[in-house]
Structure 1
């Protein structure tokens, strides 16, 4: 029986992938069974190749790392995942936790730290690089990281009402549109942002300044 833990790496920089693969395969228990340059390529590899964990760069062509992982979890809900990134923006770590990603590590970490993160996640734990000392700068949001960047103006309007606690009926009355239209917009928001319960959606909307403190007048505890 094959006891090797199988790993797939997704990063659009070939040299980084090679270096990470060499480091990983120094462990006799791990084997890199696939490499991808984009989220779309990773999804295709996973259709054909079983793996225990995926290590995904946050910034990829097309879908970003979090979007890619969410897509893989639609078919493989138990697949372990780690985001690896050059960014030390604490909001990205928060997003990773909110979306249930098992780890978030910096590319600048030393080899042993990266291997420790992989080992921890494979063992069923989580591992997140320490960003406590990194300040949040609200006006400097990397576009690729903002989960709300692809929402239309109408979707943003409905999102704001949703996180403020408006029901579908109340939203339809407020915007003078049908409930079915509200349902469609909410479904589109979910497809673009990820299927999250309202409390987590609220926290992300606040982190990314979609809503302000004084706007959160009433928020559902659950949906």
Structure 2
């Protein structure tokens, strides 16, 4: 972001909801809606013609739809954060959104204060997944067949454990608290994970974790405490 103002593309086909959301977002001094789209194609096009810092995207858009719009936007501008805001909560939806490149997911009933926090968190490079999303991410790990043999997994058991928690939206401090290690140690492991997987950020690491089943499903159990490095 090049200024103190967060420039947002609002992609939402419900005119009344979009109006209310715009009015609420622009009550915040650091947020500005600079473009609006009513369909997927328009959303993709606007990211090419406007200086945008974050896309707030409804997945139920007409035309190519929100998921495909998300994929195309990230293909063109991999660094542009996308936060999905939707009323839909479907099986396997979250894994599809992660694969498309979304950094976060909120249901439309989210309190305004939490939505503002989600917007700012995603714009700062963090992920934001609500409880529904976390549950579906866990299911994606547990239900998909493994695509990689354990001996071919480049990650240590500790790195798998940390990646599982990263994929469910946990911050470094939350991971540290869960595993009883320091936040600094978590940062070192996350850096190693990104290097080994040859990805630039936590979201891409989460995508690979789901696509290639790099994480043992038992690491998604909060009671698991792996002590080996």
Tell me the TM-score normalized by structure 1: 0.58
Q: Which runs of 5+ in 2 are unaligned?
A: 137-146, 149-206, 214-229
1:117 is matched with which residue? 118
2:36 is matched with which residue? 35
Point out the structure with the larger helix share: 2
SS of 1:8 mapped into structure 2:
strand
The CA distance in 1 between the partners of 2:81 and 2:133, in whole Å, is 24
Does the 8 Å CA contact 1:89/1:134 hold for their aligned counterparts? Answer: no
SS of 2:68 mapped into structure 1:
helix
Q: Which runs of 5+ in 1 are unaligned?
A: 136-162, 165-196, 204-223
2:128 is matched with which residue? 127
Deviation string 1:36-90 (CA, Å, 9 cap, x unpaired) is 0001111222221110000110111111212101111122110000111111225
2:4 is matched with which residue? 3
Q: What aligned pairs does 1:1-223 form with structure 2 within 5 A after superposition?
A: 2-131=3-132, 200-201=210-211
SS of 2:70 mapped into structure 1:
helix
Change (3 A) 1:116 1:15: same
The CA distance in 2 between the partners of 1:74 and 1:99, in whole Å, is 9
Provide runs of 4+ in structure 1 moved above 6 Å. 132-135
1:219 is matched with which residue? none
Does the 8 Å CA contact 2:74/2:100 hold for their aligned counterparts? Answer: no
Does the 8 Å CA contact 2:12/2:18 hold for their aligned counterparts? Answer: yes
The CA distance in 1 between the partners of 2:133 and 2:4, in whole Å, is 37
Deviation string 1:95-114 (CA, Å, 9 cap, x unpaired) is 22233310000011111111
**Count, aligned residues:** 149
Note the aligned Cα RMSD (angstroms): 3.1
Does the 8 Å CA contact 1:7/1:30 hold for their aligned counterparts? Answer: yes
